């Protein structure tokens, strides 16, 4: 019973707290400005400048509210013919090129699973020995001329990029990469 009385008393007193504390958020509107401090002439001090000087305000009242300018009109654009989609006839989803450092790469447009399957089929079609495949990492371990290499497939902005590497940190020779990736492009199923 005592608890109930305490809870009821607390709930009845809490809304009245706003009357105990004045709201001073708009007190600056009624504030009176004071003149700057006058120092006697016989006292030597460093020059006193206001920390935050307040600019003078014109006494004339604003007659009409300011009008915001209208934004500039948008220019109409002429329609531009867009390139065909990757699956459209006449456009191949496979492009051979080089990256910014001159390293040969193969760009393939399409869903990851399809690109991965087509890469495996194309490697088998050109008789490249596949030692292992790791789809989650995008790696195909292959053997060319009794030397181990890895094909790395990574996602770029618009396509998957396939590049040839000797190991994790070493690129394959440029001529070998160019030959293998060029053959993959020609034989892509």
Which residue ranges make up each domain of the chain? 94-187
CB 106 within 8 A of CB 95: yes
- pLDDT, residue 48, reads 76
Most confident of 62-66, 88-92, 160-164: 160-164
- pLDDT, residue 84, reads 45
CATH superfamily of 94-187: Outer membrane protein assembly factor BamC (3.30.310.170)
Distance CA 29, CA 140 (A): 74
- pLDDT, residue 85, reads 45
Distance CA 85, CA 88 (A): 5
Rg of the chain (C-alpha set): 39
Distance CA 189, CA 181 (A): 14
Tracing tokens 């996602």 back to the chain, one arrives at 155
Residue 160, pLDDT > 90, answer yes
Q: Is the pTM of this model over 0.75?
A: no
């Amino acid at each position: 019973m005592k608890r109930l009385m305490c809870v009821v008393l607390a709930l009845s007193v809490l809304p009245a707290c706003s009357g105990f504390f004045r709201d001073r958020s708009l007190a600056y509107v009624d504030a009176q400005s004071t003149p700057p401090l006058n120092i006697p002439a016989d006292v030597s001090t460093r020059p006193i400048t206001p920390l935050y000087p307040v600019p003078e305000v014109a006494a004339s009242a604003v007659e009409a509210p300011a009008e915001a300018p209208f934004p500039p009109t948008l220019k109409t654009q002429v329609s531009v013919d867009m390139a065909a989609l990757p699956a459209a006839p006449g456009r191949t989803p496979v492009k051979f090129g080089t990256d910014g450092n001159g390293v040969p790469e193969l760009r393939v447009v399409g869903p990851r699973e399809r690109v991965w399957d087509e890469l495996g089929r194309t490697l088998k079609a050109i008789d490249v020995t596949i030692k292992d495949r790791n789809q989650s990492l995008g790696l195909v371990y292959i053997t060319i001329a009794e030397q181990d290499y890895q094909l790395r497939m990574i996602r770029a902005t618009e396509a998957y990029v396939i590049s040839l590497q000797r190991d994790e940190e070493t690129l394959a020779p440029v001529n070998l990469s160019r030959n293998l990736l060029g053959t993959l492009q020609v034989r892509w199923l």
